[in-house]
Amino acid sequence: MLNRGSNVVWLAIAFEGGLGVIAVAMAQWFELPLRARLVLDQWVAIRSILASLPMLVFLWFAMRSDWRPLAGIRWQVSRMVREMFGGVSCVALAAISVAAGFGEELLFRGALQPLAERWWGAAIGLLIVSVIFGALHAMSRTYFVLATAVGLYLGWLAQHYDDLLAPIFVHSLYDFAALVVLMRGRSVGSGS
């Protein structure tokens, strides 16, 4: 019989994967070149690794900052992550992170952003989809601003390089690193 932790893992993977299915359906319906933006070569791999560095530096800073808004987000998200994923293995956290990276990036950067760019232009399309991304991740005003900034960064990567693998990789790696750090139980403002 499956325990609560494994049920949450499968539910999270199914939800995030469902976003990817919606993205694929949208791409077919609106004739968006999704597959052409998922080609892996050595430059995409190198770019993806390098593009992860600013996000990992931000995570390091956010986990050590005593700035009240960041400390509040860290406490709130840490509590939620421990409640949802307490006792879940690192492999399961990696699976959830990869599912989120693929599902959310296919939807936001692979389907919604190209549609918004088609309708309103590159800059406005990027901004609109980033704000939607931020709003759907928001747990507070500060979290909304930070998630919107992350959406702008991931959207810029997709737009600038016309590739979805870098945003997928960056999103997946950031989520995994954040989940592992939050599950380790760093205390608010501890600086450790």
pLDDT digits (tens, 9 = 90+) for 138-172: 999 999 999 999 999 999 999 999 999 999 999 99
100-112 average pLDDT score: 98
Instruction: Give yes or no for a contact between 126 and 117, defined as CB atoms under 8 angstroms apart.
Output: yes
In a domain, 189, yes or no: no
Distance CA(16)–CA(59), nearest Å, equals 22
In a domain, 191, yes or no: no
- pLDDT above 70 (res 101): yes
Structural domain including 66 reads 4-183
In a domain, 91, yes or no: yes
**Residue 123 CB contacts under 8 Å (≥ 6 apart), including other chains:** none
In a domain, 83, yes or no: yes
Distance CA(63)–CA(66), nearest Å, equals 9
In a domain, 118, yes or no: yes
In a domain, 15, yes or no: yes
In a domain, 128, yes or no: yes
Of the CA atoms within 13 Å of residue 158, those in its CB half-sphere come to 36
Number of structural domains, the chain? 1
Question: For residue 47, which amino acid is it?
Answer: R
The C-alpha angle with vertex 144 and arms to 187 and 34, in degrees rounded to 5, equals 110
Instruction: Give yes or no for a contact between 147 and 137, defined as CB atoms under 8 angstroms apart.
Output: yes
Per-residue pLDDT tens over the stretch 13-68: 999 999 999 999 999 999 999 999 999 999 999 999 999 999 999 999 999 999 99
Question: In the chain, what percentage of residues exceed pLDDT 90?
Answer: 90
> What is the pTM (predicted TM-score) of this model?
0.92
In a domain, 188, yes or no: no
